[in-house]
A = this chain, B = another copy of it.
Amino acid sequence: MANDSAPRRSAARTAERRRRADAERSIAAILDAALDAVSERGDVNMSELARAAGVGRVTLYTHFPGKEDLLDAVMTRAIEDANAVLAEAEPPGGLPARDALAQVIRRAWPVLDRYRRLHTAAARVLGAERMRAHHDAPMRLVAGLIDRGREEGGIRADLPRDWLITVVYSTLHAAALEVDAGRLTPAEAPEILVATLLPALSPT
């Protein structure tokens, strides 16, 4: 909640310019295909990407000036998706932050699992900093819970707050990589994560 009514935001594809319906369709197809392609191959070039999207190479370039822009758009979309899930995952009631965090981890996992390949591919092209910027919103959500947890006493206060966030983030992604490598199943991941992270975040 508490969503500020920001009428025009930056590089969103919400309401940029009157686009014709077929253009809108193309863009959607490209975004979808890009996610798919990236999710099964690691890296993709623009040519095969256009083919996968059922779209001409020229069309691809008219909508996205370069690969960066495209990957950025795909990431934006993915993060929006993740945000939606995360936002509704946080229980409203007076649940202790510590437990809420566990819930968030459990709920976040499927989304993370879905985009695990994208994360790797996008990181290669966009670089660590840009990647961090993308994760800003979900990070803040976790940060909020951690802060609250520290006040409540359910989460340790002896380590830097940013470090705890990093631990959550990196462990989550480590799990995604393990699944990708076949050393972990998507089903067992969430509980393992909770069982690993809670002790790491608890007061000594």
Contacts and interface: CB of A to CB of B under 8 A. Distances in A.
A177 interface: yes
Contacts of A23: none
Interface string A123-150: 0100011000000000000000000000
A58 interface: no
A174 B178 contact: no
A155 to B, nearest CB: 12
- Total copies of this chain within the assembly: 2
B163 A184 contact: yes
Contacts of A171: 167, 170-171
Contacts of A199: 199-200, 202, 204
Contacts of A184: 160, 163
Across the A-B interface, the 4 shortest Cβ-Cβ residue pairs: A170-B174, A200-B200, A199-B199, A199-B200
